[in-house]
Amino acid sequence: MKNIDYARRERRAKRRRARRLHRASACLLLLILFFGIHTLVQHTYKSKDQDSGKAGSSQDTHLTLQNGYSWNDDSATSKGDVVTTNEINLRSGPSAKYGIVCSVPSSTKLTMTGELNTDGTWAKVKVPGGKTGWCCRPYLQSGVVDAAATKGLDQEDYPLSIKVSLNDQKVMVIDAKGLTIKTFACSSGETGSETPTGTFSVSNRGISFYNSKLGEGAYYWTSFYGDYLFHSIPFNQDYEIKQNEAEKLGTPASHGCIRLSMDDAEWIYDHVQDGTKVTIQ
């Protein structure tokens, strides 16, 4: 009888140990799943934040009936070495909606393959090691771009000044002799978001910005009055130029800033110094 009771107790003890082991294993599995999902979510948000940071660190033959907006930069189809101006993500396609191939630090030498998207704002490049991907061209710097940026202006042309005609939707760049050396088509603020008039002064600039409330951003911004800027045709959340907005160039269409073609926004970004007088009337 004692042997039977002992055997029963042993069986009950084994079942209790088995249940405890099962519960412990289940808890361990849940912990592993929890921390795995937590790590994945953190990594996803980190990648999105890095993309957003790059965006915020934050260039008229551009409009054609058949092809829409295009960037006519001289180096658009060039191949050769370029250098990143910021830390950037290379994408598997010409838009921020494509997956990230790899991240590239600032000042990294890349090789342009010669492939561009339809409006010329994204370029396919090769990184050291052989990987290829797409990135926004304003974040690339090359000898060709540098040479183009300084071509045609002498020191005696400075100081420059800028006049904006809201009636004509034109931006005029005037040299030190009072001669108009550049005239750009623009889009000022639409009704309800009018561009301020008066005399202002250029004070800051950047390669790009993105406004999450408006769901759009732009390249080559140059500030002339607080948040009022000269900048390119806007792009959407995927860094794709808004073709419908490009078609409005030459008519009031902005939220108060002065929109320009990519080339013209880049020209002002490159040539117009801080302190330059801006008159809007």
Report the candidate in 70, 161, 94, 83 with the shortest Cα–Cα distance to residue 128. 83
Q: How far apart are CA 154 and CA 8, in angstroms?
A: 102
Q: At 1, is the secondary structure helix, strand, or coil?
A: coil
* Cβ atoms of 150 and 237 closer than 8 Å: no
**Peptide bond before 128: cis, by omega within 30 degrees of 0?**
no
Report the candidate in 209, 234, 230 with the shortest Cα–Cα distance to residue 162. 230
DSSP 8-class letter at 189: B
Chain CA centroid to CA 34, Å = 34
Cβ-based neighbours of 233, under 8 Å, separated by 6 or more: 69, 218, 241, 242, 245, 246, 249, 259, 260, 261, 262
Amino acid at 54: K
Q: Quick check: is 257 catalytic? A: yes
Selecting among 136, 186, 231, 271, the annotated active-site residue is 231
Q: At 236, is the secondary structure helix, strand, or coil?
A: coil
- H-state helical runs in 65-199: 143-150
- H-state helical runs in 90-232: 143-150
Give the torsion sign (CA, 169, 151, 148, 118): positive
Q: Quick check: is 136 catalytic? A: no
Catalytic residue numbers? 231, 257
